[in-house]
Structure 1
Amino acid sequence: MKFGHHSAAVEINAPSRAALFRDLRARFAAGKGFALATLNLDHLTKLPRDPDFAAAYAAQDLVVADGRPVVWLSQLARQPVELMPGSDLILPLSELAAELALPVALFGSDTEALDAAAEVLQARVPGLRICHKAAPPMGFDPAGAEADAALQAIAQSGARLCFLALGAPKQERLAARGRRVAPGVGFVSIGAGLDFLAGHQRRAPKFMRMLALEWLWRALQSPARMVPRYARCFAILPGLTRDALRSRG
């Protein structure tokens, strides 16, 4: 399923969890790295306005659906994809890394959150080896020399899988750069996922997620930041709905 137009168009090329994990197992077995992004409506508002973000998305090897509106649009287009938020991928990917004895790196957020998230992950995933943790300074530039040094440190740690918790568009831009600087590492952009694990941010209760109301929870938690974001998201829905209907097979 493809969203957007021209240079800002993005295709969800991992439509199901089964397909995603088949691909990941093959990449890990071959010693290949990757960049994995989770597409949501907020990203779709940013892509046409940010050429660097669009270029970073074009460099992702794998794109999954993060957000029920993206899933609903795919169903409307008769090209259904599964919902796979980044936060929900952390544990199953960590379990896969433990099964295959692949070291894991955590990058982003802050030191306290990384330490707490690492403790939770290692308690919940027996055998998981976290070989590297690093929190970038304020103002971290995903396109600068500082980014290259961070990526080289991740690669030198022996990590084969790295969770990036920087938020969009920084994490996707860093993952795209990582494909060149650290080609043997799989980079997964997971936003606030490590903060949720650490307990530093509260995720919406499960019943709200089941009712597709996580956006409302987040808006109530941080209205000054989230209400304008969701207003932009709602504004693009009519056009995306029209595109989905036109693309019906």
Structure 2
Amino acid sequence: MQFRIEKTTITVNQPDRASLLGAVAGRWRAGQGFALATLNLDHLVKLRRSAVFRSAYAAQDLVVADGNPVVWLSRLARRPVALVPGSELVLPLARLATDCGVTVALLGSTDATLQAAAKHMRHAVPGLQIVLCLAPPMGFDPEGPQAQEMLAQVAASGARLCFLALGAPRQEQLAALGRRLAPGVGFVSVGAGLDFLAGTQVRAPVWVRRLALEWLWRMVSNPRRLAGRYAACAAILPAEVAKALAQRPRAAP
């Protein structure tokens, strides 16, 4: 499934979780790093508005569908992909890292959140080695000197998997920079994934997620912050539906 924004093409190139985990394990075996982005409708809005964000997304090696609208659009295009929420990738990737002998770094959020998330992860994944926790200061520039220093710390720690919990677009920008400065590390943008594990943010109940209504649950929980965001997402849907229909494979003559 592809999304064309300006002159940038974003491809959801990992159709499901199993394919993603296989791709990550393959990169570790080959001694390669990666950047993993989790595409949702809010990202598509931001990609339309920001050339910097488009450049950062173009640098991502692996992209999954993190949002039901992206999944629905893929079905319209007859190029279906499965829902793979970034927040649900933390523990599966941590287990894979443990199985592969890969150490882990956490970067983002706050010190307290990272420590609580690390404690939860170690309990859930016996043998997991978290070698570094870094919480950027307020006003952190994901492409500035401080970002470069943090990425150098990640590389020096020996971690080959780094979870980024900064929110879009900063986490994707930092991942793109990390691909250049720490090419042996896998950078995974997980948004609020570490906050959910730490308990500092509460995710929608499972039954709400199964009904594909997590967006509504979140908006009701924080209407001032999210109403405008979801309105912008709704506004781009007609154009994205048209683009999806145009991607349908043509029948053989």
Q: Which bracket does the TM-score occupy, shorter chain normalised?
A: over 0.9
AA matched with 1:176:
A
Secondary structure of the 2:112 match is helix
Q: Does 1:71 align with 2:71?
A: yes
Alignment of 1:135-150 (within 5 A): 135-150=135-150
Q: Distance in 2 between matches of 1:170 and 1:133?
A: 17
AA matched with 2:10:
V
Deviations 1:77-133 (A, max 9, x none): 100001111101111000001111110000000000000000000000011000000
Deviation at 1:6, TM superposition (A): 3.5
Deviation at 1:15, TM superposition (A): 1.2
Deviation at 1:7, TM superposition (A): 2.5
Deviations 1:52-92 (A, max 9, x none): 10000000000000000100100111000011111011110
Aligned twin of 1:153: 153
Deviation at 1:31, TM superposition (A): 1.1
Aligned twin of 1:244: 244
Aligned twin of 1:126: 126
Aligned twin of 2:230: 230
Unpaired stretches in structure 1, ≥5 consecutive residues: none
Secondary structure of the 2:202 match is coil
AA matched with 1:136:
P
Q: Distance in 1 between matches of 2:129 and 2:226?
A: 35
Aligned twin of 1:215: 215
Deviations 1:196-232 (A, max 9, x none): 0000000000000000000011111211111100000
Q: Distance in 2 between matches of 1:6 and 1:220?
A: 33
Alignment of 1:1-249 (within 5 A): 1-249=1-249
Secondary structure of the 1:188 match is strand
Deviations 1:161-212 (A, max 9, x none): 0000000000000000000111110000000000000000000000000000
Q: Distance in 2 between matches of 1:151 and 1:135?
A: 12
Instruction: Report runs of 4+ in structure 1 exceeding 3 Å deviation.
Output: none
Secondary structure of the 1:9 match is strand
With structure 1 as the length reference, what TM-score do the two structures score?
0.98
Question: Does the 8 Å contact 1:106/1:134 carry over to 2?
Answer: yes
Q: Distance in 1 between matches of 2:17 and 2:217?
A: 26
RMSD: 0.8
Secondary structure of the 1:36 match is strand
AA matched with 1:64:
V
Paired residue total: 249
Secondary structure of the 2:200 match is coil
Deviations 1:30-67 (A, max 9, x none): 11100000000000001021011000000000000000
Question: Does the 8 Å contact 2:66/2:84 carry over to 1?
Answer: yes
AA matched with 1:107:
L
Secondary structure of the 2:7 match is helix
Q: Distance in 1 between matches of 2:247 and 2:183?
A: 35
AA matched with 1:88:
E
Secondary structure of the 2:36 match is strand
With structure 2 as the length reference, what TM-score do the two structures score?
0.97
Q: Distance in 1 between matches of 2:146 and 2:60?
A: 21
Q: Distance in 2 between matches of 1:110 and 1:229?
A: 24
Identity of aligned residues (%): 60
AA matched with 2:117:
A
AA matched with 1:149:
E
Unpaired stretches in structure 2, ≥5 consecutive residues: none
